[in-house]
Each structure stands twice: as structure tokens, then as C-alpha cells.
């Protein structure tokens, strides 16, 4: 049984952190420098009392309203987040209640970051192929801003908060979900991590702030990213990932009308595009006004590509997510 993407919507919090505001706080970071290096002009920041489930509900409600979807037809909810409301209960259960979805549905959380949307599509396709569901609501939602130290100018510049809701269905959609490639290498886990907060290292008030060589301040309660190692990882694995999904799909690079990668930052994306030798017109970037929203970057970009007519004019699309874990995944879509 085929699985298709029928509709996507997304939600951005009201709070906005512009490059001008970052420059005011860190005068050594020029507005043009931030924009040219990251490709980001603004990122949206969740309110102090706004959490992943709140944003997820708003994204799903937009999906139902914008695309005239009857929520009573949803029979499974998949929720991707690394910033859940609680350790337990499962945030997906909270979302089910807030949305007023049927109590006969399945609902679960899964913890993945930048590869999470592609993994979510694979889970949704598996549920449909196994005839366990017909209409899967896949939601991605992250509030990484709550992990970032106020004086960590590097991570503040890159990450924004967002949620995206996608309906994957056995019925007709705008594209079919085809093949997948996955990868995992846990040796890179410490290069993108929030060390405290789990069972191994509970949150401690004794954590001391430490400044790195670039003046970024953080402690073990905050998000740590080793940018150099993450960059090296993507340069090694993403070209192989791209080639692997092409081979599995019996396609060559020239067959692909649109490549949509995880929207990490403009510098990294352009480096990957040139290394893989993808034509600029076939490579989509959409992060200027929202930043790196982790698991929501790909659905946001796919929504924007569809809005601009780039999806309708395409036949073959490749999605690729990669990052925290290390975890990576790619899939190909065929536009119906």
C-alpha cells in the first residue's frame, strides 16, 4: 500500500530574534556577517510558557484549517521532539487530548533531531504499509532556544523554534513516499548535546558557566555544539547518503528536480551542494526567516517549495536529514 504526503503546515512562535537584536547584544557580530554566513535574518523564539506540545497543537490546527482536514480521520499520531513537555507522560498523549483526536488512535514520541522528519516519514509509511493506519499525523516540534545560554552567541544565531504538521495518508496526496536510507554513528553524540537533564546527569545548580575561545558562554545545562566536528561529519557522510538514496531509487543526480536538505546554515548547505555537484536551481534553501528549526526544517522547506510552485514543477525530490546523534536519513519522493 502506498503512502503519500497530503498536506503540510507549520507554526512559528510570535517572538522574533533578529540579526539587529543579536548585533545590539554582541556588537562584534555585524548584521551583514551574520546574514551572509548563516543565511538567517531572523529566528522565532517560543514564549517562556510556550512548550513543544503548545506549538505542535498550533501547527496541527493550522493543518486542519488550511487543508480542510477532518481530524476524526486521524488514526495515528507520531511526535518528533528532543524538548518534550515532560519525561513522562508521552507528549503525544498530551497533544491527542489537546487536539481532541479520537481515543482509538495510536500515539507516540520519538527523540531525533535533524534527521527526525525523514525518520518520521518512514515510520508513517510503515504503519500504512502494514495496514495499521490510514492517516498518520506526523508532528515535529522543538524549543531549542530553551537549552541555549543567553550569552552563547553562536547557537543563538543559528537555532529557532518551530513546529510542523504533516498528514501522511494511504489516499492521494501531492507526492508519494518511496525509498529510504538510514545511518547512525553514536561516536559523535558528544559533539551536539545537552549533558544535564537526563538520568545520567540530573540538572545541577552547581554547573559553572564556561566561555570558549570564541567567547560563547554555556554550562552543562545548555546546548553544546562542536561546530567543526559537525561540519566535518556532514562533509563525510551527506555525499555518501545522497549517492546511496539515488542508487536505491535507480536514479541519477540529473533525474532529481529538487533536493531539500536539513536547513543547518547557509554556509554548510552551499558547501554540501558544491561538493555533491548539485545545480543551484535544483537545491532549495528556506531558512532566512526562521533559522535552523531542527526536525522542522525539512517540512518547512517542503511547504515553502510547494508554495512557490517548485514541487508542482518537479517529478523527483530527495530529502536528506543529518545531525545530532550522529543520525542521518534520506528518502525520495515522486510528485503525483
β-bridge mates for residue 218, sequence order: 210
What whole-number distance in Å separates Cα of residue 178 and Cα of residue 11?
Answer: 27
Helix (H), strand (E) at residue 43? strand 42-45
Torsion of CA 108, 114, 117, 122, to 10 degrees: -80
- C-alpha distances (whole Å) from 146 to each of 51, 52, 82, 324 are 9, 11, 11, 17
- The conformational region for residue 67 under phi > 0 = left, psi -120 to 50 = alpha, else beta, is alpha
209: helix, coil or strand? coil
Instruction: Give CA angle at 69 (263, 95), nearest 5°.
Output: 65
β-bridge mates for residue 177, sequence order: 333
Place of cell 561540519: 231
Q: How many CB atoms lie within 10 A of CB 155?
A: 20
Contact 94, 53 (CB under 8 A): yes
Contact 62, 289 (CB under 8 A): no
- Helix, strand, coil share of the chain (percent; to 5): 35, 25, 35
Active site residues: 114, 262, 292
Helix (H), strand (E) at residue 237? helix 227-248
Place of cell 551542494: 273
300: helix, coil or strand? helix
Torsion of CA 7, 146, 43, 283, to 10 degrees: -50
What whole-number distance in Å separates Cα of residue 138 and Cα of residue 129?
Answer: 16
**Paired sense of beta strands 223-225 and 192-194, if any:** antiparallel
Amino acid at each position: 500500500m502506498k503512502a503519500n504526503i497530503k498536506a503540510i503546515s507549520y507554526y512559528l512562535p510570535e517572538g522574533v530574534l533578529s540579526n539587529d537584536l543579536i548585533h545590539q547584544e554582541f556588537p562584534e557580530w555585524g548584521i551583514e556577517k551574520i546574514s551572509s554566513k548563516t543565511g538567517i535574518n531572523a529566528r522565532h523564539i517560543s514564549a517562556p510558557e510556550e512548550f513543544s506540545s503548545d506549538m505542535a497543537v498550533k501547527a496541527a490546527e493550522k493543518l486542519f484549517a488550511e487543508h480542510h482536514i477532518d481530524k476524526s480521520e486521524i488514526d495515528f499520531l507520531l511526535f518528533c521532539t528532543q524538548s518534550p513537555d515532560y519525561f513522562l507522560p508521552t507528549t503525544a498523549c498530551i497533544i491527542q487530548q489537546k487536539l481532541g483526536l479520537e481515543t482509538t488512535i495510536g500515539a507516540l514520541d520519538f527523540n531525533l533531531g535533524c534527521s527526525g522528519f525523514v525518520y518520521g516519514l518512514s515510520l508513517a509509511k510503515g504503519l500504512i504499509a502494514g495496514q495499521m493506519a490510514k492517516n498518520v499525523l506526523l508532528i515535529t516540534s522543538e524549543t531549542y532556544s530553551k537549552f541555549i545560554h543567553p550569552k552563547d552567541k553562536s547557537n543563538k544565531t543559528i537555532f529557532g523554534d518551530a513546529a510542523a504538521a504533516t498528514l501522511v495518508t494511504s489516499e492521494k496526496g501531492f507526492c508519494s513516499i518511496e525509498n529510504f536510507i538510514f545511518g547512525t554513528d553514536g561516536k559523535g553524540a558528544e559533539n551536539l548535546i545537552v549533558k544535564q537533564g537526563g538520568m545520567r546527569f540530573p540538572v545541577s545548580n552547581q554547573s559553572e558557566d564556561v566561555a570558549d575561545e570564541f567567547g560563547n558562554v554555556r554550562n552543562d545545562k545548555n546546548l553544546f555544539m562542536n561546530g567543526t566536528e559537525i561540519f566535518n561529519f556532514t562533509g563525510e557522510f551527506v555525499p555518501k547518503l545522497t549517492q546511496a538514496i539515488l542508487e536505491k531509487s535507480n536514479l541519477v543526480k540529473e533525474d532529481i528536480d529538487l533536493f531539500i536538505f536539513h536547513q543547518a546554515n547557509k554556509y554548510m548547505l552551499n558547501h554540501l551542494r558544491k561538493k555533491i555537484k548539485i545545480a543551484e536551481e535544483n537545491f532549495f534553501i528556506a531558512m532566512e526567516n526562521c533559522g535552523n528549526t531542527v526536525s522542522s526544517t525539512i517540512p518547512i522547506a517542503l511547504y515553502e517549495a510547494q508554495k512557490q510552485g517548485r514541487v508542482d514543477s518537479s517529478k523527483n525530490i530527495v530529502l536528506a536529514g543529518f545531525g545530532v546523534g550522529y543520525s542521518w536519513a534520506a528518502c525520495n519522493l515522486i510528485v503525483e
